[in-house]
Amino acid sequence: MTTKAYPRLGETLYTTTLPNGLTLHVVPKPGFRSYYAVLAANYGGDHRRFSLGGEMIDTPAGVAHYLEHKMFDLPDGDNALNLLSANGADPNAFTSGSITCYYFQCTEKFEENLRLLIHFVTTPYFTAETVQKEQGIIAQEIRMGEDSPGSAVYYNLLKQLYANHPIRDRVVGTVESIAQITEETLYACHKVFYAPSNLCLCVEGDVDGAAIEAIAREMLPPEKAELPVADFGPEEGLLPQEALHRECMAVSAPQFLIGAKFRPVEGEGALRQRIVAQLALRLLVGSSSRFYTSLYADGTLNRDFDYEADFSAGTATVILGGESEEPETVLSALNERIAEVCKTGFAPDAFERAKRASYGARLRGLEDFDSVCVSLASGQFEGYCPFDAPGLLDQVTKAECEAFVRENLQPERFALSIIEGKKAEA
């Protein structure tokens, strides 16, 4: 295993790639009682079309999420969730547009739980009966999401921004799309996307890296499989498909999101772009920014306001929003503030404060084993290591943040999604 120390963070990272292609990250925490493990697949809801062996393959929307639901079933009739819980572990899983993660936290029987995790994630077991039964469960989840204002305002925004990329569609799929999923579909996608070469195992706790590697070698097949190549459709333009979208639902206060696309950087510059984007947004619309404090003071915004630079499955999107009776006023104020930044830049003292705040947030994040392990897996698939972020943050300049705003946040690039209350009938 290769070893890289981060003395400034007080962390050490052990990394190796097995002959079968599995990447293993281990963060030792001597003296800690808690253990955390994540086995992640480079496979999410957006990986619906891919090529393998020269053949292009299309799958229904929702397969990655469907697989996540069914992977806990074992051939002997047991359920991995029950087995892990009986061992004192707290297990779960999630599927996003770009990744599927299976994980557990425990304070005892770690190696036994780790073997269970690897075993159930790499042991597919589906029958026509269980797949059909799951369709009803997931269909109910889909309908609940359709009734959620928070989900509606988010996916409406993505549809406004993206014309073709599958990010515009819900990770869970639709009732119609999941009806097309069979046990053969699940077996085929598991074989492609759950091969060790497409997985990453991340562990944090009072563990020995060599012992973790030995378990992974023992539990996984030695062969290295071909990696699938995702096809997310034709390149998207930078302008939204629809600038404004309104929908009426049962809400106590209007919800809104403002979004804009930008081009993601791949390779060595990926992590720096993420740091610059997040720092620029902190300066522009963060809780200490002139934009937020003025709109909060006059009641246009409340504490539910939030922002992010989201990178998922080859996309990069600025998203900000919350609750407001005047979403269009918020967008107008945002454009005014951006115009000011383009003319005069950010104040040097505000930039230094934002940098220190960002550094502090990253340090606090190291306290959460789950955050560390998931970010290591995500970074592995995106080509960077999150432990390098504080060092890169030191290098980021005010000019880079100003350039990010100037180049990516022009008024014509924004889309505004609004969910407002239903009008009372006269």
What does DSSP assign to residue 269? Answer: G
b/e per residue, 181-196, with b = 16+ CB within 10 A? bebebbeebbebbbbb
Does the pLDDT value for residue 425 go beyond 60? no
Least confident of 56-60, 136-140, 277-281, 338-342: 136-140
275-328 per-position pLDDT tens digit: 999 999 999 999 999 999 999 999 999 999 999 999 999 999 999 999 999 999
Does the pLDDT value for residue 413 go beyond 60? yes
Joined together, the tokens standing for residue 63 give 């397969």
Three-state SS for 256? strand
Mean pLDDT for the stretch of residues 338-361 = 96
Give the whole-angstrom CA distance, residue 72 versus residue 119: 10
Does the pLDDT value for residue 424 go beyond 80? no
pLDDT attached to residue 146:
85
Give residues with Cβ within 8 angstroms of 304, minimum separation 6.
322, 323
pLDDT attached to residue 330:
98
Instruction: Domains for the chain: give ranges and CATH numbers.
Output: 2-230 (3.30.830.10), 244-421 (3.30.830.10)
pLDDT attached to residue 426:
45
Give the whole-angstrom CA distance, residue 26 versus residue 28: 6
Give which of 194, 355, 383 is closest to 282, Cα–Cα: 355
Q: Are 82 and 152 in contact (CB under 8 A)?
A: no
Of these residues, 11, 68, 235, 323, which one is catalytic? 68
Does the pLDDT value for residue 50 go beyond 50? yes
Q: pLDDT over 70 for what percent of the chain?
A: 99
15-25 per-position pLDDT tens digit: 999 999 999 99
DSSP character string of 374-426: HHHHHHHHHT--GGGHHHHHHH--HHHHHHHHHHH--GGG-EEEEEEEPPPP-
361-381 per-position pLDDT tens digit: 999 989 899 999 999 999 999
Q: Cα 65 from chain centroid?
A: 14
Does the pLDDT value for residue 411 go beyond 80? yes
pLDDT attached to residue 422:
77
Does the pLDDT value for residue 69 go beyond 50? yes
128-176 per-position pLDDT tens digit: 998 988 888 999 999 988 889 999 999 999 999 999 999 999 999 999 9
pLDDT attached to residue 77:
84
Give the whole-angstrom CA distance, residue 95 versus residue 172: 9
What crossing angle do the helices spanning 290-297 and 270-285 adopt, rounded to 10°? Answer: 40
Mean pLDDT for the stretch of residues 71-82 = 92
Q: Clarify whether 68 is annotated catalytic.
A: yes
Mean pLDDT for the stretch of residues 202-207 = 97
Mean pLDDT of the chain: 95
pLDDT attached to residue 182:
94
Mean pLDDT for the stretch of residues 381-409 = 96
pLDDT attached to residue 1:
87
